Amino acid sequence: MTVQFEIEKFESEFIENQMGAYWIRVSEQIHWINRFTFLEWASARLIAGWVPAASEFEWKCEMTFMMWQNMMIAERLRLRKDELSGNSKVLIPSEALQSFIQDTSRADSFPAFIAGWFLDVTKNLVQSYETFLEALDSIFDAPTIEIISEILPKKRNQIAWANEIIHNAVKDKEVLQGAERWRNYTKQYLAHIGGVDERSASTTEKPVYPIDEAYGPAPKKRSKPSWLKVIDSFEPPVEVKDNLKIFMWHYMTEIQVVDPMCYIFYGVENMPFEFYCDFSRHIWDETRHHRMGVRRLELLGFNPREFPIPYGEDAISELESYYTELTMIGETCSFSRKKKSLESYNAKGDILSAMTAEIDIVDERSHVRFGKKWIPVLYKQKFGDQRSLDEIVRSIMERWMEIDESGLGKLQGNPDLVKLSSEEKKSITHFAFCGKIEFKNLNFDQL
């Protein structure tokens, strides 16, 4: 699978600057800001594509933050382009750059991708930002200077993160050899295209792809920590089963949805730019919720690594259905119990747990709003499906009521749905459906 963008001729004619690299005309700014926007957008999607290959949860959390961060950088740049040109559409700077991005992202291991993408491609992008910044005028171009000055520390932090990962990983000889092989390929490719800004003359031929088969992006099997205890259902550990701590365990388990969502973010094509901004935030939020649950359980004296969670290995294929189930069932149908837990925590003086629940509710409202906004667009774009949101959600409810074995229904289906008569199934509302699948026998009286 490769990331595709519509190729169009750039709308602004590039005007030759007669003052070298010391001043930049508006038309040139538009040209370079469009290029940087494209690179940040593409980088966000490629990072998402490699999240399922990360074998540590902390790496997944940090990568989804960088994915969202790159989308926010891209959005700021896109809005600046709109100010300068009256056109916010992001265009591919060149076919050569698109081929470079696709080729250098198809590594044969997670460490190889991290090394090549961050230590070479991102580092070259930082150099390009710095060269661009040097040519900007402090008065004419002050808004652009402000944006680029804020971007640079973030990109350097990303490089530092990757450097620490690789610094520790290359103690293994095979990892070292793989990382070096991929970095040499990436460096030669950069020299071939003249850097990510394509400003330098090509100094070498296009390098030969150095591996037989790529592992990612979007690997066929998801990676997970070696210490992880996996269960097939949402059966909570006995330590939290009959008390309010069960909610902290549920927050901890939200890491399980991150890989599937990253498959969606990487794999879904031809969606509006705003979709990727919203969706990147949704994914990052899920890792924040995981961390919130882990932190609270640790503060309560537990070792979260001892608690099993449901976690599959296979890649998600029905992307649109998964997203619909997650937002319109998994999240929409959770508010009543979460609000009740918030009230119970406050009543019992457990303020940190209450704050955890409150932040989760705030985020989930945004996620449901994103789902309502984008689900019909996804179905229309992918399948030519003209159904309304209500009709799509109704079809998902019907699958659950028939003991569906795909998506979240396999894990969270409720026997109460089986007891409904045919007439009840036809007439049940979304709200009533949520009531049927809510977790039962929760104890809100015991901390």
Report the C-alpha gap between 338 and 343 in whole angstroms.
9
Rounded to a whole number of angstroms, the distance between the first and last alpha carbons of the chain is: 47
Numbered ranges of CATH 1.20.1260.10 in the chain: 26-193, 230-437
> What's the pLDDT at 419?
72
Mean pLDDT, contiguous 10-residue spans, the chain (447 residues) = 46 53 87 96 97 96 98 98 93 94 96 97 97 94 97 98 96 95 97 93 90 93 93 86 92 94 91 96 97 96 94 75 89 88 93 95 94 93 89 86 55 61 80 73 78
d(CA 224, CA 227): 9
Q: How far is CA 58 from CA 114, 217, 225, 288, 303, in A?
A: 15, 19, 10, 11, 16
Predicted pLDDT of residue 20? 62
**pTM of the model as a whole:** 0.90
**Nearest 10 degrees: CA dihedral of 282, 284, 290, 296?**
-110
**In contact, 110 and 215? CB cutoff 8 Å:** yes
How far is C-alpha 48 from the geometric centre of its chain's CA atoms?
Answer: 5
Q: What is the CATH number of domain 230-437?
A: 1.20.1260.10
The runs of H, that is alpha helices, within 209-334 are 238-241, 246-252, 258-267, 273-299, 319-325
pLDDT of residue 317: 65
Amino acid 349: pLDDT = 94
User: Phi/psi of residue 296, each to 5°?
Assistant: -65, -40
Which residue type sits at 371? G
d(CA 147, CA 26): 16
The pLDDT, as a whole number, for residue 421 is 77
Looking at residue 184, its pLDDT comes to 97
What is the homologous superfamily of the domain 26-193 according to CATH? Answer: Ferritin, core subunit, four-helix bundle (1.20.1260.10)
